Amino acid sequence: MSKYRTAYVNARLVDPASGLDAPGGLLAEDGKIADFGTRLFADGAPGDAETVDCGGHVLAPGLVDMRVQLRDPGQEHMEDIESAGHAAGAGGVTTIVCLPNTDPVIDNVAVLEFVARRAREVKLAKIHCYAAITRGFAGRELTEFGLLGEAGAVAFTDAEVTVADAKTLQRALSYASTFGHLIAQHPEEPSLAADGQMNSGEIASRLGLAGIPPVAEVIMIERDLRLVEKTGSRYHAAHVSTAASVEAIRQAKRRGLDVTCDTAPHYFALNEIAVGDYRTFAKVRPPLRDETDREAVVEGLKDGTIDAIASDHSPHDQDSKRLPFAQAAFGIIGLETLLPLTLELYHNKHLKLPEALALLTCRPAERLGLTAGRLAKGAPADLVLIDTDRPWKIDEEAFRSKSKNSPFDGRPVQGHALRTVVDGRAIFSVGQEKQKKKAG
């Protein structure tokens, strides 16, 4: 039986997991990586393979986005699995990990299997799911961690709802540890954040908006860390945004706790000034913080305290965002801007390229136990070809996502996915996009 083969030649191979960063080539065969290396194709590519000339650009593992809201099932007018898959492809993302805040909530095996089945049918980016910690995010009754884990849940979180009751979280951590599961928390002390609209401080006061103080985040993290220490469990803090939170996690790691965290591009690429005069596209939770906090997030990425960068993709329709600031929904989209915004850390010399890509590939994959995010023989051929220097301007009208709620519209950036490959199949390529535009 003949094999379908693709030879990627003239590439700069970058595999953050192994430290590889060198010119070379890669051979994909029937959806798997058959071989790769610096001397591969020294005598030319095999004649029976499709040849992709990478033009000296970076060929890396496909990106793993560990925090995405799909809106499917339940709110498909904002996003669905297919539109998210196309957005992911355009952003170089081959693996999506979706939050359980669908409708109905992913708190039982049936909903989990529905999302998995739809992802297989659509055949774009791979989709894995978190399951809820508590039924209906009500913060009381725990879900069936064992059954959900067996069905494919990669970790447990109540998405944008904080598990505020200490006894409930302690039970969840203990229960999860018996299975080796990870608990991911949206860290925000609810009573301090109640009715808040943006970061508390001078700008919030000037705009007359209720503030969410930075201490609301670190109080919850510090409480959770005490419970992690007591239970010996695995814990992940989502989208950290403050200097105090980064420092608390840094100290916890030094004490040997099994603790990780992620942040999102808007917490190192923007600060609270982006809210401007009530720009609802800059309304996120946790809110954009002040410049000191933004700089601390960058430092946390540089010293390894922050383990991953996730898009925190949160699509909303215009009816949810084009409202007075206090009534507008929280959240922005990010699948298509995750890569170029992260590359700003490289272009600004905060991180080396393999370090920046590690935050988007092997490090989130390892924490979630996914066989993704690295170049390895026999592994799925999930790849992204990146022109790291290509200048362009973010244009919300060009987004593949159904929603357009991005604060980065018009921002000049450098770096773009040229080709995104899942199981050896190109789900996005710049050449195909140009052909489609001409045909249209």
Angle, to 10 degrees, between the axis of helix 243-254 and the axis of helix 291-302? 30
Spatial distance between the Cα atoms of 440 and 433, rounded to a whole number of angstroms? 11
Spatial distance between the Cα atoms of 90 and 386, rounded to a whole number of angstroms? 11
Spatial distance between the Cα atoms of 160 and 257, rounded to a whole number of angstroms? 24
Spatial distance between the Cα atoms of 35 and 41, rounded to a whole number of angstroms? 10
Location of structure tokens 């945004």: 241
Task: Name which of 66, 300, 93 is nearest 182 in CA terms.
Answer: 66
**Residue 114: which residues within 8 A CB-CB, separation 6 or more?**
73
The DSSP bridge partners found for residue 380 are 32
| Residue 46 to residues 7, 40, 49, 51, Cα–Cα distance (Å) | 8, 10, 6, 9
The DSSP bridge partners found for residue 259 are 235
Spatial distance between the Cα atoms of 71 and 35, rounded to a whole number of angstroms? 38
Active site residue 312: yes
Chain mean position to CA 325: 26
Give the helix ranges, DSSP H, for 303-420: 318-321, 338-347, 353-358, 362-368
Active-site choice (65, 72, 107, 312):
312
Q: Evaluate whether 182 touches 367 at the Cβ level (below 8 Å).
A: yes
Neighbours of 160 (CB within 10 A): 18
| Residue 263 to residues 31, 127, 155, 297, 312, Cα–Cα distance (Å) | 31, 20, 17, 8, 8
Length of the chain equals 440
Q: What are phi and psi of 384, to 5 degrees?
A: -140, 135
b/e sequence 209-245, b meaning 16+ C-beta within 10 Å? bebbbbebbbbbbbbbbebbeebebbbbbbbbbbbbb
Tell me the torsion sign for CA atoms 222, 225, 227, 229.
Answer: negative
Spatial distance between the Cα atoms of 347 and 340, rounded to a whole number of angstroms? 10
Spatial distance between the Cα atoms of 129 and 290, rounded to a whole number of angstroms? 32
Task: Name the residues annotated as catalytic.
Answer: 312
